[in-house]
Structure 1
Amino acid sequence: MRAWRALGWIAIIAVGLFLFQVLRTVVISVIVGVFITALLLPPARWLMRRGLNRALATAVVFVSGLLVGGAFIALLVPPTIASVSDLSASLGKAVTDLNSLAAGFGLNGAAVVDQVGDYLSKQGQTIATGALTGVRTAGEILVGTVLALILAVYFVHGGDRLFRWLVELTPVQARRTLVDSGELIFTVIGRYIRGVALVGLVDGFFIGLALWIMGVPLALPLAVLTFVGSFLPVVGAFAAGLLAAVVAFVAKGWLVALIVVAVTVLVQQLEGHVLAPQIYGRALDLPGAVIILAIAVGSLVAGIIGAFLAAPVTSVVVALLHRNVTAAEGAPAPARAGPGSHPPAKESPA
C-alpha cells in the first residue's frame, strides 16, 4: 500500500508540474497574489476592526500601497541616473587598474578585453535572440503582475468567502483537513513575506548607509537591490553584496571595495544570527543547502520568478509534511505558528 501511495503522489506531482508549465503565468500570478494578500491583509483587517467596511478598507490599503510605490520610484530614478553618469566616468580608471593587476600576474589585460569584445561581436545573433526572449518574458511579467494585483484586491476583499466556497465543493470528511491546511499555508506565507521584507529593509538600510557614507555611486539603487535580494535567501544576499563591491571598486578603488565587502559580511552575520531568528521564527526553518537546491529547481521550472518563489513554496511544503508527521505520531502541535504548527484561524483568509 505504501508503494502504491508513493506512486500516486509521484503521478500527482508530475501532473501538477505539467499543468504548471501549461498555465505558468496564471499559476504564478495566483501565488504572487496570495503573497501580496499576506502582506496587505493585516492592515486591511486593522482598518475593518476600526469600523471601515471591506470595500473601503481594501481601497485604502491598495491606494496607499500604490502611492508609496510611486513615490519610491520617483525618489529612486533621479539619483540612479546621476550615479550612472558618475560611474561611467570612473570606468576607464577601473579598467586601467585591472590591466595593471593582470600585468602583475603575467597576463595581458588589454588582450583579454579585446578577446571579450571579439567574442561578443561574434555572438551578436545569439544576444539579439536573447533580447527578443527577454522582451517576451517582460511582457509575461507585466501581464502576470497586473493579474496578481487584481487577484490580490479580490483576495483581500473576499478571500475568506472564496476559500469557504472552494472548501464546500469538497467531500465533507476532507473539509476540516483542507481548512487546517489553508490556515497553515497562509500563516507560513504571511510570516515569510513580512519577515523577509523587514529583514531586507534593515539590510538595505545599513548597507546603503555605508555606501552613502563612503561616497559610492548608486548607493540608493544598491540598497534597494539588497532589499529585493533578501527575497532570494542565501543567493540574493551574495549577489547584491558582490555587485556593491564591484561598483565600489569601479568608483573608489580596492580599499573601499574591501570595506564594502566587510560591511556586507557584518550585516549578513548580524541578520543570520540575531535579526532573522527573531523575526522569522520558524517560518523559514530550512537548511541552507535545501534553500539553494529549491532556488535552483525553481529557476529551472519558472525562471527568475520561480527562483524567488522557491523558498516560500518549499517552506509551505515542509510545514505540511511536518504537520502530517506530527498528526501521524499523535503528538500535539506546537502552540506557535510556522512549520510543524497549527496557526491561529485569524491568520487565514478562511
Structure 2
Amino acid sequence: MDEQPTPSGAHPPPFRRRATDAEGPRRGLAADPLTWRPRNWVSGRTLPIAIGVGLGLLLAQGATAVLGRIQGLLVIVVVSLFLSFAMEPAVQWMARRGVRRGLGTWVVFFVALLLFGGFLAAMTNLVVDQARNLVAAGPTLLGDLADRSTELLPADLGEGVAEWLDEQQQALPQRVAGSAAVVGRGAVGFGQTVLGGLFQAATALLVTFYLVADGPKLRQRLASRLEPRDQVRVLGLWELAIAKTGGYVYSRVLTAVASAVFHVAAFTVIGVDYALALGIWVGLISSLIPAIGTYLAGALPLVVALAESGGQAVWVLAAIVVYQQVENYLVVPRITASTLQLHPAIAFLSVLAGGALAGATGALLAIPAVAIVTALLNASGEEYDVLHHHLLESGPNGSFAGLLDGTDTAPHSRPDAAERSADADAGDEPGPEPNGRN
C-alpha cells in the first residue's frame, strides 16, 4: 500500500515506517552486521567541557594548597587591617591639630605598647608570686585539710581522707621536683612558640604602622584604579569600617578603664593582695568578653582572696556582682549609645563563632566585623514602620494572659464581627480572617 502524501499544513505522522530488507539496511546499522559500530554519542563539546572541569579542579586544589601555606600571612594582614581601623580615629584627631601622621602613629603605638607592657609585667609578677606561695604553703594546706576532714566527716571516711592527704603531703616535694623537670624539658619548645608569636606580632605591628602612617596615600592609590562611582562606594565602606572599629575600641577602652578603676579601689579597700594587677585584669577581660567577661575575670581575684580568708572572698564576690549590674544598666548603655549599636546576645555569639573559626584572633575581631556587616545592612536596606502587636510590647500588654482568658482589651485585640460589619458598611476593607483569607 502506497503511503499517502501529507496534506499541506498537516503535522507528519509521529512514527516513521520501518524500512524493509528490500529497501536497504536500517538506519544506524551497516549492511554487514559484523561491521556494525555503536553510534557516537559523544558530541564535540564534551571533550572541552571535561578538560575545563579537570583544569578547574586542579586550580581549586592548587589554590587550597596555596591558601594553606599563606594562612598565617592572611591572618596577619586581617589583624593589621583591623588594627589600622582602630588607630585611625586617634591619628586623624592628632593630624587635624597639626601633628604629622607619622609622629601621631608613633605616639599611638607607644601609648598602646606602654599600657600593654605594664599590664603584662604586673600579671607576670602576680602569677609568679602566687605560684611560689602556693608551692611553699602546699604542705601546710594539706595538713590543715587532713585535720578538718577528721572533724567534719564521719569517722571511717574522715580517717581515710586524712591518710590520703598525709600521703599527698609527703609526696608533694617529689612531685614538685618532677614537675620542675618536666617544665625544664618543655622550656625549649615553649621558647620557640613564644619567639614565633613575637615575630608574628612584630610583623602585624609593622604592617599596621604603614597602613596608618601612609593611609591617605594607599587609599588614593586604590581610588585611582576605580571609576568615580566605585570610588564613592569603596571610600564610604572604608570610612564606615573605621567608624565602627574605632567606636568599638573606644567603647571597650572606656569600659575597661571604668571597670579597672572600680575594682582596684574595691580590692584595695577589701585588702586583697595585688589589688592593682587584679583590678586591671578584671577590667581588661570584662571588656574583651561581652556579657560574662566580668564573671570569668572575677575567678582569679576570688582564688587570691580565698587564700587569705573566706570573708574576704565573699566581699570580693559582692563587689564583682554589684559592678556587673551597674555596668550593664548605667555604664555600657551610655558609652555604646554613640559608638556601637550591637545587642549583647549577638556580640556574645559572634565572639563564640569567631573563636571557633580562628581561635583567639577570631574572637577578638568578631565583634567589630559583625558591627561593620550590621552597619552595611542598615545602610543598604530600608526600614519600615512596625505594626502594633502584643508580641512587640514589653509591658503588661505583652503577655498572652489576656488573649487566653478573653480579658485582653488592648488596642491590638482583634475586632469583633460587629466592628468589621460597621467598617464594611462605611466602605473600609474588612480585616483578614484568622486563617489568612480575606
> What TM-score comes out, normalization by structure 1 length?
0.70
Of 250, 272, 288, the residue aligned with 2:328 is 272
Note the 1:293-304 alignment, pairs <5 A: 293-304=349-360
Given residue 126 of structure 2, which amino acid in structure 1 is its aligned partner? T
* 2:352 counterpart of 1:308: no
Task: Look up the SS of the partner of 1:178 in the other structure.
Answer: helix
Query: Offset at 1:245?
Result: 1.2
Contact 2:86 2:242 in 1 (8 A): no
Out of 320, 342, 349, which is 1:285 matched to? 342
What does residue 122 of structure 2 align with? 76
The answer for the alignment partner of 1:199 in structure 2 is: 255
Q: Cα–Cα, structure 1 residues 278 and 77, in superposed 2: closer, same or farther, change >3 Å?
A: closer
SS at match of 2:77: helix
Structure 1 CA distance for aligned equivalents of residues 205 and 68 of structure 2? 21
- Please give the TM-score of this superposition, normalised by the length of structure 2: 0.58
Q: 2:303 aligns with which of 241, 246, 249?
A: 246
Shift of 1:140: 4.2
**Between Structure 1 and Structure 2, whose CA radius of gyration is higher?**
2
CA distance in 1, matches of 2:77, 2:229: 27
Q: Deviations over 1:225-249 (max 9, x none)?
A: 2232111223432210122212211
Q: How far apart are the structure 2 equivalents of 1:262 and 1:189?
A: 33
Separation of aligned partners in 2, 1:228 and 1:94: 31
Q: 1:286 Cα shift?
A: 2.2
Other structure's SS at 1:56 match: helix
Q: 1:64 to 1:253 in 2, by over 3 A?
A: closer
Gaps of 5+ in 2: 1-62, 385-438
Residue by residue over 1:276-296, the C-alpha shift from the partner in whole angstroms, topping out at 9 and shown as x without a partner, is 1111226151232x3333222
Is the contact between residue 291 and residue 344 of structure 2 (CA under 8 Å) also seen in structure 1?
A: no
Is the Cα–Cα contact under 8 Å of residues 89 and 246 in structure 2 kept in the other structure? no
Larger helix proportion of the pair: 1
Instruction: Return the offset for 1:133.
Output: 7.6
Query: Do the aligned partners of residues 81 and 235 (structure 1) sit closer, same or farther apart at CA in structure 2, a change above 3 Å counting?
Result: closer
How far did residue 297 of structure 1 move?
Answer: 2.2
Asked whether the equivalents of residues 283 and 315 of structure 1 are also in contact (C-alpha less than 8 Å), the reply is yes
Residue-pair matches, total: 312
In 2, are the aligned partners of 1:43 and 1:61 still within 8 Å (CA)? yes
Aligned partner of 2:35 in structure 1 is: none
Matched ranges for 1:208-227 at <5 A? 208-227=264-283
SS at match of 2:200: helix
Alignment check: 8 A CA contact 1:84 1:218 kept: no
1:187 — aligned with what?
Answer: 243
Determine the C-alpha separation between the residues in 1 that align with 2:375 and 2:239.
Answer: 11
Distance 1:232 1:21 in 2: 29
**2:369 matched to 1:322?**
no
RMSD: 4.4
1:8 is matched with which residue? Answer: none
Out of 273-282 and 162-171, give the one that drifted further.
Answer: 162-171
- What residue identity is the alignment partner of 1:143? F
Match of residue 236, structure 1, among 281, 290, 293: 293
Structure 1 pair 31–206 and aligned structure 2 pair: CA distance change class (3 A): farther
Q: Percent identity?
A: 25
> What is the rounded CA distance, in whole Å, between the counterparts of 2:192 and 2:208 in structure 1?
24
Quick one: structure 1 residues 109 and 138, their matched pair in 2 at CA, closer, same or farther if it must change by over 3 Å?
A: farther
Preserved CA contact (<8 Å) 1:298 1:309? yes
- What do residues 198-245 of structure 1 show as CA deviations (whole Å, max 9, x unaligned)? 101111121122122222123222222223211122343221012221
Shift of the 253–269 alpha-carbon distance from structure 1 to 2, 3 Å rule, reads same
With 51-60 and 149-158 compared, the bigger mean Cα shift is at: 51-60
Relative to 1, partners in 2 of residues 1:95 and 1:160: Cα closer, same or farther, differing over 3 Å? farther
Aligned counterparts of 2:133 and 2:272: Cα–Cα separation in 1: 9
Does residue 97 of structure 2 align to residue 56 of structure 1? no
**1:104-162: CA deviation from partner (whole Å, max 9, x where unpaired):** 57784885996xx9xx9xx99x9999988865654443223212221222122121322
After superposing the two structures, state which structure 1 stretch, 180-189 or 39-48, moved more.
39-48
SS at match of 2:290: coil
Structure 1 equivalent of residue 10 of structure 2: none
Unaligned runs of at least 5 residues, structure 1? 1-15, 332-350
Residues 263-282 of structure 1 deviation map (CA, whole Å, 9 limit, x = unaligned) = 11111111111111111226
Q: Structure 1 residues 155 and 135, CA, compared in 2 at 3 Å: closer, same or farther?
A: same
- Counterpart-to-counterpart distance in 2, 1:82 and 1:318: 43
- C-alpha separation between the residues in 1 aligned to 2:353 and 2:183? 25
Counterpart code for 1:287: P
The whole-number CA distance in structure 1 between the counterparts of 2:209 and 2:88 is 10
Alpha-carbon offset, residue 183 of structure 1 = 1.6
Letter in 2 for 1:52: V
Does structure 2 conserve the Cα–Cα contact (< 8 Å) formed by 1:212 and 1:219? yes
Distance 1:315 1:260, change over 3 A: same
Counterparts of 2:350 and 2:162 in 1: how far apart (Å)? 38
In the aligned structure 1, how far is the partner of 2:348 from the partner of 2:162?
34
Distance 2:311 2:376 in 1: 48
State the distance in 2 between where 1:156 and 1:58 align.
7
